[in-house]
Amino acid sequence: MEFPLDDYAAGARVATDLVTTSPTVRGAAGDGLPTPEALAAFLAEHGLQLDAPPPTAADLFQVGLLRREVRGIIETETADQAVAGCAVLMRRAARGPVLRPDAADDRWRWHVPTAPGAALADELAAFLAAGLAGVVRALGHGRFRACAAPGCRGVFADTSRAGRRQFCRPELCGNRVKVANHRARQAVR
């Protein structure tokens, strides 16, 4: 796998989505990645084409562990801690960045290749770490947040332009809060 270094938002988005598949976040809905096939669908949904073969049960287990590590990085108290966590993940499979021409616009872009034969979880770790480190560099550590929805234990990296995102899953957590607020306003009338 090789990914562009300047598109940190893509890695941060996948990191957030991976964390929100956790039973810790999903509660009664259970694990969002219960099978290797679900992991393959998650990767495909995010357009990730890893060099590793299709996911196995062992890969699923390793990605489950990676999910905890990524959550730990998002929950760090300082930028230094987040960057140190990202460095640990990058070392799992990333190699030094290379400069390559972009086929779309003939501009040169930095890319990070992963080690040949790297495990699926290690390739994914490098991609997510680059995304999270990019958030710290470009937007600041304050963009790592806990979900504002009552009872939700989700965390996320806010890569929105305005930096006002409040929910780990806006379509679910945000909608629940909006519905609850609407019902509360209706009850007052």
Residue 50 confidence (pLDDT) above 90: no
Residue 4's pLDDT band (cuts 50, 70, 90):
confident
Tell me: the pLDDT tens digits for 83-131?
999 999 999 998 989 999 888 888 899 999 999 999 999 999 999 999 9
Higher per-residue confidence, 184 vs 142: 142
Residue 178 confidence (pLDDT) above 90: no
Tell me: the pLDDT tens digits for 51-86?
889 999 999 999 999 999 999 999 999 999 999 999
DSSP-based three-state secondary structure for 33: coil
Residue 184's pLDDT band (cuts 50, 70, 90):
confident
H-helix or E-strand spanning residue 99: strand 98-101
Q: Which single residue is written with the structure tokens 């009872």? A: 151
pLDDT recorded at residue 185: 78
Contact 131, 11 (CB under 8 A): yes
